Amino acid sequence: MRRVVITGLGTIAPNGIGKDAFWDACVNGVSAAALITKFDVSKMPSQIACEVKNFNPADYSLTPWEIDSLDRHAQFGLAAAKQAIEDAQLDLATLDHDRTGVFMGTTNSAPDTFERVWEDVTNKGELSMIGKQLPKEFSYALLSNSAAMSIAIHYGFHGPSIVVSDACSSGVNAVDQATIAIRDGVCDTALAGGTDASITPMGLDCYCVLGAVSRRNDAPTKASRPFDRDRDGFVLGEGSAVMILEEYEHAVKRGATIYAEIMGIANNTNAYHMTALPEGGGPLGQVILEALRRGGLKPTDVDYLNAHGTSTQLNDKSESGAIKAAFGDHAYKLAVNSTKCVIGHTQGAASAHQLIVLCMSLRDQIIHPTINQENPDPECDLDYVPNTAREARLNVVMSNASGFGGFNSSIVLRRLT
């Protein structure tokens, strides 16, 4: 079977733009959570988010059309793609564009553009949208697949390109699509990851009414506290993460730096509830084992697991249960952390951000801390790498994603030595 490796990383993250700034912030436990300033949150129970600040699309060679017409999430994706291509030192002049594909994950494509325009033309819902003057390229901004198509068009990649939308599992499932395409021989190179820009009134409020987001408005950086007893919901985030995936021989031949090999990815479904989770983790435990089985690995081979860890009461308890069910005694020897403590829940990009973390962890042999661990939850009794980064021997690492709707994904990466 053709092997698939990761050779380039790019990310727009709330706590750092570019893989190095992002990683430094993660290792140092720097949270990006703050009061939302881009819209009026005075009547919302949750008023905080991890916003990407100072993002200027012109810094990433976006064309004037892309800057004027595309939604923020597509622009995040284009920026991360440029970083990833540069990080992988891909030579675009010699790269076979016909065998390069683009696979991106996102949740709701373009609420940022839609709500901005809608508020403006309807005076926040006083008027109908019908018959109002809308931006000329509005339908392209709202195009569901723009995150993938914009990258394919910008670079002229002619392989397959598609957007995957599996709620919080979108990013890793896009990486799964890319891995399959490379294994099947359709592509030698792929750009894959996730992007999301859903910090909008509805993007926030639809979770407020569910009681899913933290209301710790007086201490935003303390709000995302996965696995801590006093967690009260996730913090909304935004951003993108794009990776260069390559067929192993293709990468070796051009002397690429390899961050990791993708050993196995698996998906399953809870079939339980759109937002609640089964006691003990349910199918998530099985999907962890299935990803390992596909990678020809045993649970005891795993050194570190980057959890979905949203900081909701339900998820963190259920996920800890799934980890215990999958790993048995090894669950207590394994390091587990959650990147959402510092970037919030970046939705469709979240599981892709987690993969950037895994690659950087393998490179530096460091596990970033889960910050805000103050009062342990007796039901979350694993080693969550509390508060301080840790050096560790890392060879086999994993990551989980679990989305609204009950979509579970698990992925295993291995360092090549």
Partner 1 sequence: MTRRVVITGLGLTTPIGVGKEAFWAAAQAGRSGVGRPSLLETMDVPIKVIGEVKDFIAAEHLSKKLVVRSDRNTHFAFASCNEALADAGLDLTTEDKSRIGIVLASNYGGTSYYLNNLVRLHQKGPSFVSAYMAIAWIPSAPVGQLSIFHGITGYTRTYLNDIAGGLDAIGNSCRAIRRGDADVIISGGFEAVIAEASMATMSTFTELCHDASDPATAYRPFDRDRHGSVVAEGGGIVILEELERALARGAQIYGEIVGYAQSTDALDFHSFAPDGKYYARAMHAALHEAGLTPDSVDYFNADGRSTANADQAEANALKVAFGDHLPNLAVSAPKSMTGSMLAGAGPVDVAFAALAMRDNLVPPTINVDHQDPACAINLVISQPRATPISTAMIGARGTGGGNSVLVLKELA
Q: Which stretch binds partner 1 (CB under 8 A): 27-35, 42-50, 217-225, 314-322?
A: 42-50
Q: In sequence order, what DSSP letters do the residues of 26-76 get, joined into one string?
A: HHTT----EE--SS--TT-S--EEEPPPS--GGGGT--HHHHHHS-HHHHH
**What is Dmax (Cα atoms) for the chain?**
63
Q: Which stretch binds partner 1 (CB under 8 A): 116-124, 336-344, 367-375, 386-394?
A: 116-124
Cα separation, 284 vs 282, in Å, equals 6
Cβ of residue 35: shortest distance to partner 1, in angstroms?
16
Cβ of residue 283: shortest distance to partner 1, in angstroms?
5
Bridge partners (DSSP) of residue 190 are 101, 245
Nearer to partner 1 by Cβ, of 77 and 101: the residue is 101
User: Which of 159, 149, 22 has the alpha carbon at shortest distance from 73?
Assistant: 149
- Residue 168 designated active-site: yes
**With binding defined as CB under 8 A, does residue 403 bind partner 1?**
yes
Cβ of residue 77: shortest distance to partner 1, in angstroms?
13
Distances (CA, A) of 29 to 191, 251, 252, 387, 389: 28, 33, 34, 7, 8
Q: What is the DSSP letter of 222?
A: H
Q: Which of 35, 58, 92, 209 binds partner 1 (CB under 8 A)?
A: 209
Cβ of residue 206: shortest distance to partner 1, in angstroms?
4
**With binding defined as CB under 8 A, does residue 404 bind partner 1?**
yes
Q: Which of 56, 139, 257, 387 binds partner 1 (CB under 8 A)?
A: 139
**With binding defined as CB under 8 A, does residue 271 bind partner 1?**
yes
**With binding defined as CB under 8 A, does residue 129 bind partner 1?**
yes
Q: Which of 106, 240, 339, 361 binds partner 1 (CB under 8 A)?
A: 106
Rounded to the nearest 5°, which phi and psi values hold at 100?
-120, 125
**With binding defined as CB under 8 A, does residue 215 bind partner 1?**
no
**With binding defined as CB under 8 A, does residue 201 bind partner 1?**
yes
**With binding defined as CB under 8 A, does residue 388 bind partner 1?**
no
**By CB under 8 A, what part of segment 64-103 binds partner 1?**
69, 97-98, 101-102
Contact (Cβ atoms closer than 8 angstroms) between residue 110 and residue 185:
no
**With binding defined as CB under 8 A, does residue 149 bind partner 1?**
yes
Contact (Cβ atoms closer than 8 angstroms) between residue 13 and residue 343:
yes
Q: Which of 21, 30, 34, 135 binds partner 1 (CB under 8 A)?
A: 135
The amino acid present at 205, given as its one-letter code, is D
**With binding defined as CB under 8 A, does residue 173 bind partner 1?**
yes
For Cα atoms 34, 40, 41, give the angle at the middle one, nearest 5 degrees. 55
**With binding defined as CB under 8 A, does residue 114 bind partner 1?**
yes
Q: Which stretch binds partner 1 (CB under 8 A): 10-18, 198-206, 373-381, 383-391?
A: 198-206
Q: Which of 34, 229, 252, 275 binds partner 1 (CB under 8 A)?
A: 275
Which tokens is 344 given?
A: 């919030």
Q: In sequence order, what DSSP letters do the residues of 255-282 get, joined into one string?
A: T----EEEEEEEEEE--S-SS---GGGT
The amino acid present at 213, given as its one-letter code, is V
Intra-chain end-to-end CA distance of the chain, in Å: 20
**With binding defined as CB under 8 A, does residue 163 bind partner 1?**
yes
**With binding defined as CB under 8 A, does residue 140 bind partner 1?**
yes
Which tokens is 135 given?
A: 């931006």
Sequence-ordered strand ranges (E) for 75-114: 100-105
| Options 73, 154, 308, 368, the catalytic residue | 308
- Residue 345 designated active-site: yes
The amino acid present at 368, given as its one-letter code, is H
Nearer to partner 1 by Cβ, of 145 and 365: the residue is 145
Cβ of residue 23: shortest distance to partner 1, in angstroms?
30
**By CB under 8 A, what part of segment 283-302 binds partner 1?**
283
Q: In sequence order, what DSSP letters do the residues of 309-372 get, joined into one string?
A: --S-HHHHHHHHHHHHHHHGGGGGTSEEE-THHHH-B-GGGHHHHHHHHHHHHHHHTEE--B--
Which tokens is 298 given?
A: 């045993």
The 10 Å Cβ neighbour count of residue 260 is 25
Q: Which stretch binds partner 1 (CB under 8 A): 1-9, 166-174, 304-312, 377-385?
A: 166-174
**With binding defined as CB under 8 A, does residue 314 bind partner 1?**
no
Cβ of residue 403: shortest distance to partner 1, in angstroms?
7
Cβ of residue 16: shortest distance to partner 1, in angstroms?
28
| Options 26, 50, 73, 168, the catalytic residue | 168
Contact (Cβ atoms closer than 8 angstroms) between residue 297 and residue 264:
yes
**With binding defined as CB under 8 A, does residue 44 bind partner 1?**
yes
The catalytic site residues sit at 168, 308, 345
